[in-house]
Structure 1
Amino acid sequence: MRLTLIALLAAVAGPAIAVPAASPSYAVTARIAGPDGSWDYAKVDPETHRLFIARSGSVTVIDLAGGGISSWGEIARGHAVVPLPGNRLLVTSGNDGTVRFLDTTTGRQIASVAVGKKADAAIFDAANARAFVMNADGGTVSVLDTATMRVSKTITVKPALEYAALVGGTLFINDEDANEIEVVDIASGKAGKPIAMPGCEGPTGLGYDERTGHLVSACANGKAVIADAKARRVVGMVDTGKGADAVILDTARRLAFVPCGKDGVLDILSLDAPGGVMRVGRVTTEVGARTGALDPATGAIYLPTAAFSVPATPGARPTAVPGSFHVLVVKPA
């Protein structure tokens, strides 16, 4: 996942479209302050009601029930956080190409496993007790046995791998540089013909809706691509805000959320709209809010972000204002 914040301050509203009268109503209801540092993926553990956020040097843990905030572990540029059974948390550590396992009862590290260069996105396959780690710069996927906390297989794909979705025995992975979805057969460990996504630039976030068989891919240039996982072809495209870095699925409510960090909006897509996926709502959030997590119990969305200073030199990277990191809480009305 690209963490650059260049041009994030140039917030421009996305294309105007008609929104159905019965569109879902969501709003920012709170802001939770947290420690300074960069951030990437986030995840809510519905069992413990805690929000985990991968940070530059640790994991930020927010108790959604009690309100407490703590920092766990020592991470070298955290990217993904994945709650696991047995009171454990998997964290990808990008700068040293490792996966860290933390004990969620103590917050302490219990194992460190070498994977590939720039370990980035990660997903969990509960049915087979394994995790897939996308090594963005290495162009490989590390398959981890989460019970033994060891790498069981390494699959070579290509560089710039982003978020993934597992559909049966096939792994679909966004490729940020090739603007396509890589298609990997897990059993053979081989990559097949990718799904090209014309009109999509910089795909990162990816979600899969089992009911419709649709993959939803978020592109940085203000598009969400809809692909048929079975047919392995693009079947639609939706206008969104720019700078998206995640797709947050709420299949129970039949919605997908795309946090757009450049434009500072959260776009709401219906998974069951007539004719396919369509945008049915938009919440004004903040510039920089590009990833997030769903609490499936409440339907609330949590979006990490910060305030940014205006660069003194045109084209320079904006920096987060010290003490400004916070999490936006977006709830249904």
Structure 2
Amino acid sequence: MKMPLRLAAVGVLAGCALAPAGLAAQAGPYAVVDKWVLGGEGGWDYLLADSANHLLYVTHATRVEVVDTTTGKPVGAITGLKGTHGVVLDDEGKYGFISDGGGNVVVVFDRKTFAIVNRIPAGTNPDGMAWEPSTKTVWAFNGRSSDVTVIDAVGMKTVATIKLSGKPEFPAVDGKGAIWVNIETKNTLVKLDAKTLKQTAEWPLAGCESPSGLAIDREHRHLFSVCDGRKMPVTDGDTGRQIALVTIGEGPDAAAYDAKDQLAFSSNGEGTLSIVSTAGGKFTTLQTLPTQATGRTMAFDFATGKAYVVVAKMGPKPAPTAATPKPRATALPGTFTVLVIAKK
């Protein structure tokens, strides 16, 4: 997480209206087709779609909301947390893992009952996470200690802590043991080996400022970082060569890739969803879809082709004080909402 509520780039949009007229949608196939009001209080971070079980996990302050994607209704919650960031799931349908940044732990929950079954110590402020299937490990990237905690999901214990060159953001995996993660403070992309538990490369992200979200095209081994300054660098995951630098919306924080339609997505805090075609090795913006200001994180459901973007209306920014010289607006209670985006 870049900062609380990830609103650095969109603070001027505290009223949370729909995307401004200057960001009108380009002609394209996607639209906002539904809105699920979850309500409650507090900020949020990442969300994750469980396609097989038709569930959406949404981090929300000190809890994780669980929503049935066929009805849009909450079906449960994981509670008793201190400050949630991300969720990953094992590949056996048994456990889920939450990065509880406020507690400096990775919380393990039962996917059938949503009950917490374990808390595993991590570094300082675990944030972005990845499930690495070839080694059955969970990788929790710690924002404040600039390292990654590697957890054996079978033994439920930490097996390594790997130091990084700067503050990590979101990771991506190829399913075969390679892991990549954006380093926000260095504007770089790091590659790690899950089998040797070592860093194998670090590459500059030219034209990128403060990379956050990351997605992967596993077939072509292309990586899509999203950056402040309206840029999405596309990187060769084996060589580190930059293949393209695509213009996207401002204030991005999450990325996704749809292999079926060869599309890369960036959810942007300004209130847009950038949809980039990668077909034929060409990287062109297919559509800029208005969503709602603060819509900076998202999840993509690979089974249905739907994207989910979380938003809320924001209250006025408090006046500066000596203790808080740069105060930030907070989400208005009851306005926490999931936007459902699909082909028309």
Question: Fold match, TM over 0.5?
Answer: yes
Counterpart of 1:249 in structure 2 is 257
In structure 1, distance between residues paired with 2:135 and 2:22: 42
In structure 2, distance between residues paired with 1:154 and 1:6: 29
Counterpart of 1:28 in structure 2 is 32
1:295 to 292, 301, 304: 301
Counterpart of 1:106 in structure 2 is 113
Counterpart of 1:180 in structure 2 is 188
Q: One-letter code of the match for 1:211?
A: E
2:179 to 154, 157, 171: 171
Counterpart of 1:37 in structure 2 is 42
Could you say what the CA RMSD is over the residues aligned between the two structures, in angstroms?
Answer: 2.3
TM-score by length of 2: 0.89
Task: Report if aligned partners of 1:222, 1:241 keep a CA contact under 8 Å in 2.
Answer: yes
Counterpart of 1:80 in structure 2 is 86
2:70 to 62, 65, 73: 65
Q: Which one is further off, 41-50 or 141-150?
A: 141-150
Task: Report if aligned partners of 1:9, 1:308 keep a CA contact under 8 Å in 2.
Answer: no
Task: Report if aligned partners of 1:6, 1:316 keep a CA contact under 8 Å in 2.
Answer: no
Task: Report if aligned partners of 1:97, 1:117 keep a CA contact under 8 Å in 2.
Answer: yes
Deviation track 1:213-237 (CA, whole Å, cap 9, x = no partner) reads 2110000221001111122121210
Q: Report the Cα offset of residue 191 of structure 1.
A: 2.7
Structure 2 unaligned segments of length 5 or more: list them: 14-18, 321-325
2:247 to 232, 239, 242: 239
1:153 to 143, 153, 160: 160
Q: Which one is further off, 301-310 or 158-167?
A: 158-167
Say how many residue pairs are matched: 328
Q: Does 1:329 align with 2:336?
A: no
Q: One-letter code of the match for 1:276?
A: K
Sequence identity percentage: 28
Q: Does 1:304 align with 2:306?
A: no
In structure 1, distance between residues paired with 2:180 and 2:114: 32
SS in 1 for 2:254: coil
SS in 1 for 2:34: strand
Q: Does 1:10 align with 2:12?
A: yes
> Closer, same or farther in 2 for the Cα pair 1:87/1:13, shift >3 Å?
same
Counterpart of 1:203 in structure 2 is 211
Counterpart of 2:230 in structure 1 is 222
Q: Does 1:93 align with 2:93?
A: no
In structure 1, distance between residues paired with 2:55 and 2:97: 14
Q: Report the Cα offset of residue 312 of structure 1.
A: 5.3
Deviation track 1:267-289 (CA, whole Å, cap 9, x = no partner) reads 001122x4532211111001101
TM-score by length of 1: 0.91
In structure 2, distance between residues paired with 1:68 and 1:152: 38
Q: Report the Cα offset of residue 24 of structure 1.
A: 4.5
RCO higher in structure (CA 8 A, sep ≥6): 2
Q: One-letter code of the match for 1:108?
A: A
1:54 to 55, 59, 82: 59
SS in 2 for 1:310: coil
Task: Report if aligned partners of 1:247, 1:259 keep a CA contact under 8 Å in 2.
Answer: yes
Counterpart of 2:323 in structure 1 is none
Q: Does 1:318 align with 2:324?
A: no
SS in 1 for 2:102: coil
Deviation track 1:198-254 (CA, whole Å, cap 9, x = no partner) reads 221110111111222211000022100111112212121001111100111111221
SS in 2 for 1:203: coil
In structure 1, distance between residues paired with 2:121 and 2:195: 22
Deviation track 1:38-84 (CA, whole Å, cap 9, x = no partner) reads 11110111121110011210101111124431322222111111122
In structure 2, distance between residues paired with 1:146 and 1:228: 29
In structure 2, distance between residues paired with 1:190 and 1:17: 45
SS in 2 for 1:297: coil
